[in-house]
Structure 1
């Protein structure tokens, strides 16, 4: 919840207590429940400071103490705040019916994302009915450069933007298939624009292929992307074009609802 929901701007120098409180939120959000000692170790803070900040966060409803223990966990307050932002997006409401139809057609996991900095954020997910699925959730982020949805967005944006995103990203060989050369990356974006869909061929997660298409609005700007994520055991490479056409048709339906004229 923390990474999706909280953004604080402070003029001048950062406020130390705010920094520490946000750091505590970040640590607690990564665990089902966690004790003060572990928080202190993770942040190299003393117990008095951590307890004081925890008390403040609890008083404001962001963290709660697990009943009958000395452990702490996040409440749903941050999720509710982020979810309100998501609900305010016309994109989500307009996209839901088409995404449901796509998931029903393919029986696979369907995602809707928007960009945030150098990353994409999942704002909606329709889960696959199959037992083997991609481990994602609403609010999760991934780098744009190695995701199908990120490449779909960048391929239909300015080339300068794609280069800027690449330069600002931490390029990591996440899997043996991750593209780590900018020229190879830009060549792939040209192919994405030509085909109308992008591919993540096990670049983010071994055993998972994703196919994505961009979503455009009335001003012809890319405002998001959608994807199908499928385990490779159910998705041979010779079927990529089939799924590519599925995501393209779905993106066209959503884009038209948002005023884009083909």
Structure 2
């Protein structure tokens, strides 16, 4: 558990500890699993869970396990919108300097969800709707996020979400994905090599020390987004990712 904030309200700290423990466990837990993960007494856990169930932030499943509730979705969507708003100036700067579409996405329940986009001015351009969900293994942002996680966590995400191949160039098996992630860690950025859409290449980079796993990317037609583009884009992506990180951690 995080260190108690001076002057904090203990019951509020306990509620958020339980919500974070359930999230870390993959979204659902038993009462005994929760009890073994925290020093809170069992009657306290039970009382807090009952309150959260009544409010809709937790739900009790027919098998008596506890799962994150639907009211949290609204909070998450609001937070994602704010994250996107915070990143937009940096995305706009990338578009102004590189001429291609810039995106930001976060990891959300084993998928990536796009939280911001600034489109290119070119008539032929990459377009992704804000709020769209995509698989992690077939997107530049998704692979940049996965590369920040350990292999066991990656295996869990991919096993739960599946690995559909969007194009003949998509990675379709876990071992090939882990090899690609190893390369991404060494290189410091990921490449979606027509894996999401034929004719589109994307360079992406994780936002360091983000409170929720996040990444930014620039993407466009392979005819324009080539090796010389990469040489210009990678330093600018790194700079933008660091600026977003600094703003997130000092806001």
Three-state SS of the structure 2 residue aligned to 1:229 is strand
TM-score in terms of structure 1 length: 0.63
After superposition, where does 1:202-241 map in structure 2 within 5 Å? 202-217=194-209, 223-237=213-227, 239-241=229-231
Q: Displacement, 1:96? A: 2.1
**Which residue is equivalent to 1:112?**
104
Structure-1 separation of matches of 2:100 and 2:172: 28
Question: Does the Cα contact within 8 Å between 1:157 and 1:222 map onto a contact in 2?
Answer: no
**Which residue is equivalent to 1:21?**
none
* Equivalent residue in structure 1 for 2:117, among 96, 115, 125: 125
Q: Displacement, 1:83? A: 6.0
* Equivalent residue in structure 2 for 1:99, among 91, 98, 115: 91
Q: Displacement, 1:257? A: 2.2
After superposition, where does 1:73-92 map in structure 2 within 5 Å? 84-87=78-81, 89=82, 91-92=83-84
CA-atom RMSD in angstroms: 2.7
Three-state SS of the structure 1 residue aligned to 2:103 is strand
**Which residue is equivalent to 2:190?**
198
What stretches of structure 2 of length at least 5 have no aligned partner? 1-55, 63-73
Structure-1 separation of matches of 2:239 and 2:61: 48
* Equivalent residue in structure 2 for 1:187, among 165, 173, 179: 179
**Which residue is equivalent to 2:138?**
146
Three-state SS of the structure 1 residue aligned to 2:237 is helix
Q: Displacement, 1:200? A: 0.4
Three-state SS of the structure 2 residue aligned to 1:178 is coil
Q: Displacement, 1:162? A: 1.2
**Which residue is equivalent to 1:11?**
60
**Which residue is equivalent to 2:164?**
172
Number of residue pairs aligned between Structure 1 and Structure 2:
186
What stretches of structure 1 of length at least 5 have no aligned partner? 1-6, 14-79
